[in-house]
Amino acid sequence: MYRIQIYDSRMTGMHWQLQKVGARHGRRYYETGTRMPVAIFLGGDPVFTFCATAPLPDGLDEMLLAGYLRKKSVELVKCETNDLEVPADSDFVIEGYVDPREPLREEGPFGDHTGYYTLPEPYPVFHITAITHRKDAIYAATIVGPPPMEDFYIGSASVRLFLPILKLNFPEIVDIALPAEGVFHNLVFVSIKRVIPCRPIK
């Protein structure tokens, strides 16, 4: 889930932070200097919003998680102007590309979910080639402002869903909490039950 800042009727900023998966995908295109096709979809099954924020490892598609949670696969359809696919029940689809040969453009400032503004920074430009929508489309939006906001509750749901998986890999974990004061991902409390005794470093 990324934000896009509208520059004009055909261009927006593509706010993918360096550590995000979108930026890692983008780097492949920047290395070759070829246009990166992009498709943004809004709305559809509400589970898509949750899955877009889920802490999945690279290579694990969010649509697989969505299908698992829905207990049925996600029907995908091909975009109009590129070969990417989006959920068939999307309310809006914005298609286009990022051209790695052009300079970055300043994006921001932006009222962030932390309750503060993020400063302007350079990001890639997203060129729009098509916008489509279904009949009676609903524009889903989130509200930013002083926390706690939606992301806090989505983060709490992620903890409950992924805690059993974390416990499989790290049996000492008893519980995890993301308090509202940490604004979803900036503060984590982890309670553990030591299995291996601590030994002082000599």
List pLDDT tens digits, range 43-60: 999 999 889 888 887 778
- Give the whole-angstrom CA distance, residue 11 versus residue 98: 10
- Give the whole-angstrom CA distance, residue 144 versus residue 125: 23
Q: Using 50, 70 and 90 to split pLDDT, how confident is the model at 197?
A: confident
3-state secondary structure of 2: coil
- Give the whole-angstrom CA distance, residue 70 versus residue 166: 22
Q: What is the pLDDT of residues 90-116, one digit of tens each?
A: 999 999 999 999 999 999 898 877 778
45, amino acid identity: D
- Give the whole-angstrom CA distance, residue 93 versus residue 128: 11
Task: List, by residue number, the catalytic residues.
Answer: 112
* Residue 110 exposed, middle or buried by CB count within 10 Å (0-12, 13-18, 19+): middle
- Give the whole-angstrom CA distance, residue 201 versus residue 68: 45
68, amino acid identity: Y
- Give the whole-angstrom CA distance, residue 4 versus residue 1: 10
- Give the whole-angstrom CA distance, residue 94 versus residue 181: 34
Q: For the chain, give every domain's residue range.
A: 11-133, 150-192
Q: Quick one: pLDDT at residue 153? A: 82
Q: Quick one: pLDDT at residue 138? A: 94
